[in-house]
Structure 1
Amino acid sequence: MLDYDKVRKKYDILVRELIEKQITITTMESCTSGQIASLLTDTEGASAIMKGAFVTYSNEAKIRQGVPSEVIERYGVYSKETASEMARVCRDFYGTDIGIGVTGSFGNTDPNNPDSVPGKVYFAIATGEQTEGYDCKVPPQPTRLAYKLYMADIIADELIRKIKK
């Protein structure tokens, strides 16, 4: 299992870098249920860069926040395309530099979505006019929190890589 303190430290470094570079950020999270937003806001001064966040656990919540239903119908709720729309929608809604979208299934299948594959998570990072989608196979974890921290760790690595460019 991931060490929470190591993940927390990574987000502290990330947030300090975002503050220094005056880069704003937001999230639209499904399977991570706001864990990334929580980690971002654990660092003092995060209000300078974190403008808000959405937890859109259901398909309906994603659509109500602006993810096109056609994207979910065509590609599935668990897809790079849906994660990419989530990232773009939240970035545009809050007018931030970076938007993060996360969708997927952790340790079980979702009875409401036939495209559910346990341990398959998609995320996207929208910056400027570019959105990059990723897929990740998450190994079995002992708790729901461990699944969320696993994904938060991977997303932090990608964010750090992007802002260091």
Structure 2
Amino acid sequence: MTVTDLLERAKALKVMISTAESCTGGMVAAALTDIPGSSAVVERGFVTYTNTAKQEMLGVSAETLADHGAVSEEVAREMADGALTHSQAQLSVSITGIAGPGGSEFKPEGRVCFGLAVQGHPTRTETVEFGALGRDNVRRAARDHALDLISKGLSDID
């Protein structure tokens, strides 16, 4: 599904979308807002690169960050939920990961955690290991995966 198709589907369903992004730095919101007429669907985007931003803008718990680290499904869940809570959207996607270069043996380069929150449905999370593709490629792959998640979330509303 193209981004234009995704936006048309959301518009037909009267669904507003918000994004909560860390390692992609707003790439998902940019992909959505590159399309004319996206203001009918894109409610807002949060770029929360630091832990402080995640806490202040999305309500991510300091305890969750301390217990699991920023790159975790637990944080991705709180980011997605926070994007719904702090917006007028009915669907939100979150992304937190290690684009590279670098990483660690416990959290390697290319690990990205996603959250998908749809009003009235349980929030879903997943981790994708894109591998050490290089920073630009990991970020693009994460953006594209998040757009696919938004499409799946719209199916929950259909």
TM-score, with length taken from structure 1: 0.85
Which residue identity is paired with 1:149?
R
CA distance in 2: counterparts of 1:103 and 1:90, whole angstroms? 13
Compared with structure 1, are the counterparts of its residues 117 and 110 closer, same or farther at alpha carbon in structure 2 (3 Å cutoff)? closer
Structure 1 unaligned residues grouped into runs of 5+: 1-8
1:148 aligns with 2:139: yes
CA distance in 2: counterparts of 1:120 and 1:53, whole angstroms? 22
Structure 2 unaligned residues grouped into runs of 5+: none
2:10 to 18, 43, 49: 18
CA distance in 2: counterparts of 1:88 and 1:115, whole angstroms? 26
**Structure-2 residue corresponding to 1:160:** 151
**Structure-2 residue corresponding to 1:5:** none
Equivalent residue runs for 1:30-45 within 5 Å: 30-45=22-37
Equivalent residue runs for 1:117-128 within 5 Å: 117-128=108-119
Q: Name the % identity.
A: 28
Count residues with an aligned counterpart: 154
CA distance in 1: counterparts of 2:147 and 2:54, whole angstroms? 23
**Structure-2 residue corresponding to 1:4:** none
Q: Give the CA deviation at 1:146.
A: 2.5
1:94 is paired with a residue whose SS is coil
Q: Comparing 86-95 with 151-160, which one deviates more in the overlay?
A: 151-160
Q: Give the CA deviation at 1:147.
A: 2.0
Q: Give the CA deviation at 1:115.
A: 5.7
CA RMSD of aligned residues (A): 1.9
1:136 is paired with a residue whose SS is strand
Residues 40-78 of structure 1: CA deviation (Å, up to 9, x unaligned): 111111111111111111111111112111111112111
2:76 to 83, 108, 111: 83
Q: Give the CA deviation at 1:159.
A: 2.0
Equivalent residue runs for 1:106-145 within 5 Å: 106-109=99-102, 116-129=107-120, 130-142=122-134, 144-145=135-136
TM-score, with length taken from structure 2: 0.88
Q: Give the CA deviation at 1:12.
A: 1.7
Aligned residues of 1:87 and 1:124 also touching (Cα < 8 A): yes
Aligned residues of 1:78 and 1:115 also touching (Cα < 8 A): no
2:44 to 52, 57, 62: 52
Runs of 4+ in structure 1 off by over 6 angstroms are none
